[in-house]
Amino acid sequence: MPQFIGDNIMARDEQGRPRARIATVFPRGDTIVTLPGIHATQRLAYAQDLNDRRVAQGLAPLGDDELEAQCLTGVDLVLEGDNILIRPDPADMQAAFEADELLQQIVPKEKIKFLHVLDPQVREAIKRRGECWRISALPRSPDEMSKMIADSKIAIGGRDLYFYNNTTGTRFLTFAAFSSLASLDEHELRRHLAEIGDHSNSANRMGRREVAFYMAEGTDLPAEFARHDFLAIDSGALRGAYEDLRRRFHDAAPPEFRRDELNNPNWRGRMYATLIGQTDEAVSEEAMLGLAAEFFMQVEWLPGGRIEDGELIFDPILEDEAKPCRPDGHPLCDEKARGFIFNFIRDYGDLEHVNIGRVAGSLSSRGEWPGRRGVYLADVRERGNPRPILRVIRMQKWGVSENLDKGEDLLQAMLESEEYTEYILDRRIGCRQLGMNLPARVAARKLGERYAGKNPRYLGRLIWSAYFERDYVAGLATDKVAAARFADDAFALNFARLLGRAAAPNLIVGRCDLHGNAIFDDGDELVIVDACGMPIDIVVADPTGTFTDYLHDLRDLAPGYAGAINRRLPFLNDPRAFARTFLAAFVDRFNQVRQEYIKRQRAFDTLFKHLPRDEAGSFRYRWESVLRRLQTADAAELAEGIGRGIKG
């Protein structure tokens, strides 16, 4: 056990808070210093204690150079709630890991995290240990993130205009909040403009601006404010100065950040990162990987294992019988991570690291479907390859466990699980054949897990559960594109064209929920943009619900696609042009697919001829039914049906 100079690191005050807010650990001296002060004075206290002990042992005290060398072995700690945050030196990560191991003698591993992980050396050292879960901030739901943002609103002397970062003390003024000043009377406008001008040009004791212009921090807006004496300027010039400053702020802020939109994942995620001071706090690994905004703070990185000298070493916390949980009550460990890691090692061989994350919430906007829900993210790196391999893993909805829950015996449950796997893979082929743009590679895999369901005959039995693994698609879900982006006519029309093209195969394959409602534009369609931010493609990440409706006339299903247009009408400069572009692209793509079928009808008709045919709903029968109605459908008539559902 380490010795303490000062209070025990676990000591708490009367309010239950850590008695020491900072500490310095000396892993090579088995010592932790918690004395009040700063890290520099704690290092000096360690050096003094070291010399005092040497003198007591009859040894000569260390010289200045020797003491400095000892001080340099210290590792900074920050105590925050129940967590201990290690602030490592990027040039000496070994010392940080030694500090980590020393702290684990007195603190549970899950309560020790790392700071400064935006530094590439720090991040890579931790990732190589397979410990992304040690560097990600505690997951929060979108509702909790929204509440924190809303609660951060603060005033200085007038209205609650600012979003307050309580780490740095900076108050962030958004363009939307600044625009709201237009409704104020002259007296109130003067007072608020003077307030913003004064505080945007002053710094607090930490050297941070008192007021910063959100998403326009690098501009000359503070200097522009400083040019005016708002308390003395005449009435006409006051309004003119305000409008000029509002125009400058408007032009500086990206379009998607000109509205305050708590329900928009992109805006919410960026504001959240701003308010937690992401460069100084434990940060989200999904942001480092460049994942879409909807993943932000939704990935719970799991304990797994690290690879050293080609050997896989699982994290000891996986064997912890206490089953540690996160602060939100969710289990910290997930046994499926072990199976995923084994499979990646089998597939890729010489790996540098594998990190597995569990997606905490649904990324689509529809309700839950029956069956298993489990989505994971894998960050894999092959040795010698600088780029990570990102894979999305989705557990099969109906597997052995779900079939056992229905009371079936093990053999029947396994057979039905295999049949469902084949159905999913056949469905994917059918979607691609009919023009749906899907990720290039999907693999069906299995992992072993202990059955813990409702069937008492098989409790604790090892079963094999199926899952599907696909490439990560670097795009943003169409339903989560910021409303402000549609103020750009070029963006809006490109988006409408791609969305209309994507709607055609979606309708053809009868993609619906269990109530017959069309599934489209609700989280699975990912828009890909070019370097200029213009939409260039739409990929359907997961074709859930395809071939669900294979009997109804397409004319009955078409009106459901008007919603993709209606949802965006309030944000468009030219709603009619958006609708025309969508419908024209729909007709063009629908006719392309239909002509392809007519041209190669025999190839389409016989594609699934080898499968059993059952009018109760086998895939072969669904395929035949979908092709039969495609042959007789009229694209223009379907577009008219969509058009009749458009509002306004």
Domain spans, the chain: 3-115, 142-275, 285-471, 477-644
Quick check: helix, strand or coil at residue 279? coil
* DSSP state string for 354-374: EEEEEE-S-SSSSPPPSS---
Region of residue 388 (left: phi > 0; alpha: psi -120 to 50; beta: else):
beta
Write down the pLDDT at residue 312: 86
Write down the pLDDT at residue 291: 55
Which parts of 242-386 are beta strand (E)?
299-301, 305-308, 311-314, 351-359, 375-382
> Measuring CA to CA, which residue among 500, 405, 530 is closest to residue 456?
405
What is the spatial distance between Cα 359 and Cα 367, in angstroms, rounded to a whole number?
16
Cα-Cα-Cα-Cα dihedral sign, residues 361, 366, 367, 369: negative
Region of residue 169 (left: phi > 0; alpha: psi -120 to 50; beta: else):
left
Give 325's DSSP letter. Answer: B
Strand order in the sheet with 525-529: 476-477, 525-529, 535-540
User: pLDDT averaged over consecutive 10-residue blocks of the chain (648 residues)?
Assistant: 91 83 89 83 89 89 86 85 84 92 91 76 83 63 78 81 76 95 93 92 76 90 93 91 95 92 86 68 45 57 82 80 64 86 88 85 57 87 85 94 96 97 96 95 94 95 95 87 91 97 98 93 92 94 94 95 95 96 98 97 96 95 97 97 90
Contact, 551 vs 559, CB < 8 A? no
Q: Find all residues with CB under 8 Å of 483, minimum gap 6, and list them.
A: 259, 261, 264, 568, 570, 571
Tracing tokens 């009808």 back to the chain, one arrives at 601
What is the spatial distance between Cα 233 and Cα 197, in angstroms, rounded to a whole number?
14
Q: With b meaning 16 or more CB within 10 Å and e meaning fewer, what string describes 333-370?
A: bbebbbbbbebbbeebeebbbbbbbbbbeebbeeeeee
CATH of 477-644, one of 3.30.1070, 1.10.3470, 1.10.1070, 1.10.8: 1.10.1070
* Residue 512, Cβ density class (10 Å: 0-12 exposed, 13-18 middle, ≥19 buried): buried
Give the count of alpha carbons within 13 A of 179, CB side only. 14
* Residue 513, Cβ density class (10 Å: 0-12 exposed, 13-18 middle, ≥19 buried): middle
What is the spatial distance between Cα 145 and Cα 298, in angstroms, rounded to a whole number?
11
| pTM of the predicted structure, to 2 decimals | 0.67
CA 241 to chain centre: 40
Instruction: Read off the amino acid at residue 475.
Output: G
Contact, 530 vs 536, CB < 8 A? yes
What is the spatial distance between Cα 545 and Cα 509, in angstroms, rounded to a whole number?
9
Cα-Cα-Cα-Cα dihedral sign, residues 485, 489, 490, 494: positive
Residue 164 backbone phi and psi in degrees, to 5? -100, 125
What's the full length of the chain, in residues? 648
